[in-house]
Each structure stands twice: as C-alpha cells, then as structure tokens.
Amino acid sequence: MKKKLRHFINVNKCSELDYATHLMKAQMDFEERNKIYRWKIKADLTNFGLENATIKEKNIPFIENPYQDIDLDILSYNEIKKLFNIKRTNNNLIGAPKINYIDVDNYQGIITVSSLFANKIIWVLDGIKIKTKYNVIGEFVTTLKVENLEGKEIYFILLGDNGQTKSKAFGLLPQEVL
C-alpha cells in the first residue's frame, strides 16, 4: 500500500492529505454510482425483423438485510441473542446452530447463510414454509434465490441437535419501488 501511496503522491505532486481526500471522494463516488442494483432495458426488436418477439423480464425483489454492517465474529453471545431468536434444547456446550455469516447479493437476488451445528434450514415467506435444505456434517453454507418470490418478508430457521436459531425478517421490496 505504501508503494501505491508514494506513487500517487509523486505522479500528482500532492501531499498525503490530498491523497486521503482524493481516496475518500473516489469511495463516495463509487458508492453513489453503485446504488442502482438492476437496470431495465427496453429493446425494440422490430429493426431485426422480430415484430412479435418478447424479452423475458426477471422479477428480482430488493432484499432489505437486517444484518447489514454487523460483524458476527466480534459479537458476544448476549449481543447475538438480541439479533437472533435462539432456543436451546439442552445445556450442552455446543448449543443451537451458530451463524458464521450472512451475505445478501442484491444484484442477483441471493441470500447466503453459513452456519455450524445446523442439520437443516427452513425458509419462511410471509409465514409460509417455502424451502427446506438439509446438512449432513460440518459447516452448512446454503443460498436462497428470491427471484420471482412475491411477498413482504422472508426469514430462516436453522435447526440442529441442540436447538434452533431463527433470523430476523429480511424485507422484500418489488422492483418497481427501486
């Protein structure tokens, strides 16, 4: 990193403060320009001799992540209990399923969950079970695509031998809202 800093300062004949200012502005510009998650393209295919052709639209709702900007690795057990509804079935050292990370990809409409001590995950959309996946042993990494799902909120329940962990609801906003 220091090589890049020195190079930038030499090429632009500026100070470290100028570099930091430039870097901060570039980061803000990047974040502002990337707020658009999906583009809609309207194409007129008549120019190509396709008068009655249609383009299939994808319906990918925007996912509001209740765990955005939360680093699960640095939280205490009491802080994690505030973020998840945890039920233990006994007092084993290994309790309910532990969540390693949650990732939301709003570009493709995918929620990824990684956990330990989970045998299965149940996805629930507006109070109705929509999908169940099973795990045999070890780390459980699972994904859910929200494409074509119509509902307001979705959450998951991880079940293990010694309890369960239920997430907060992820909000689903239709594309038209964006």
Q: What residue ranges do the domains of the chain occupy? A: 2-33, 62-177
Written as six digits, the tokens of 133 are: 């996946």
Residue 178: pLDDT band with limits 50, 70, 90: very low
Q: What percent of the chain has pLDDT over 90?
A: 38
Residue 94: pLDDT band with limits 50, 70, 90: low
Helix axes 16-33, 2-12, angle to 10 degrees: 100
Per the confidence metrics, is the pTM higher than 0.75? no
* Mean pLDDT of the 148-153 span: 92
Instruction: Provide the greatest CA pair distance for the chain.
Output: 70
Which of these CATH numbers, 2.40.50, 2.60.40, 1.10.620, 3.90.1690, describes 62-177? 2.60.40
Q: How far is the C-alpha of 21 from the C-alpha of 43, rounded, in Å?
A: 41
Over 50: is that where the pLDDT of 31 sits?
A: yes
Q: How far is the C-alpha of 36 from the C-alpha of 33, rounded, in Å?
A: 7
Written as six digits, the tokens of 81 are: 């209990």
